Amino acid sequence: MNEHSLRAVVVYDIKTNLDLENLSNADRYLKEFAASANFPSGVSIEQVQAEVSLIDRRGATGPINEIVFRGTRGPNSNPSLRYDGLDNYNRKRLQIKESQEAKKRSMPLQDFRNALDAGKLEITLDDLK
């Protein structure tokens, strides 16, 4: 029988009112849970990634077979440098602040982040204090 490289996907749609520290704990729990998955003999796990995404959902996630995975194996042509050098906790803090600021300005989050990347807006960790 031929070996196949496949992708297994599990999606949780969640609602939360947790603070950043507890969201960080939820992230750790999710990673531990994903890493401990018990697959049948003949299936080996090559990589595990798990994260509580801070992107606001517009509704329930659609069918898994319609999820599109985007990206390339090479570096992004115009990578955002906002998160360079930040640990997971501070990256999440910055993402939450971006989401809050976008809502204050009645801007879609991606438009707000594009404006940050273009240098039209600025936000720093100092703004989180």
pLDDT digits 0-9 by tens, 99-125: 888 888 888 888 888 888 888 888 876
* Phi, psi (rounded to 5 degrees) for 27: -60, -50
Q: Can you give the residue range of the structural domain that contains 119?
A: 20-128
- The span from the CA of 72 to the CA of 24, in Å, is 28
Q: Is residue 3 part of a domain?
A: no
Q: What is the percentage of the chain residues whose pLDDT exceeds 90? A: 0
User: What is the pLDDT confidence band of residue 20, given thresholds at 50, 70 and 90?
Assistant: low
Across 27-56, average pLDDT = 83
Q: Is residue 109 part of a domain?
A: yes
Q: Is the pLDDT of residue 55 over 60?
A: yes
Q: Is residue 9 part of a domain?
A: no
Helices in the chain by DSSP H: which ranges?
A: 20-35, 88-104, 109-117
Give the total number of structural domains in the chain.
Answer: 1
Task: Look at the alpha carbons of 61, 63, 68, 73 in this order and tell me if their dihedral is positive or negative.
Answer: positive
- The span from the CA of 123 to the CA of 120, in Å, is 10
Q: Is residue 15 part of a domain?
A: no
Q: Is residue 96 part of a domain?
A: yes
Higher pLDDT, 1 or 113: 113
Length of the chain: 129
Q: Are 2 and 8 in contact (CB under 8 A)?
A: no
Q: Is residue 122 part of a domain?
A: yes
Q: Is residue 14 part of a domain?
A: no
Total-model pTM: 0.50
Most confident of 12-16, 20-24, 49-53: 12-16
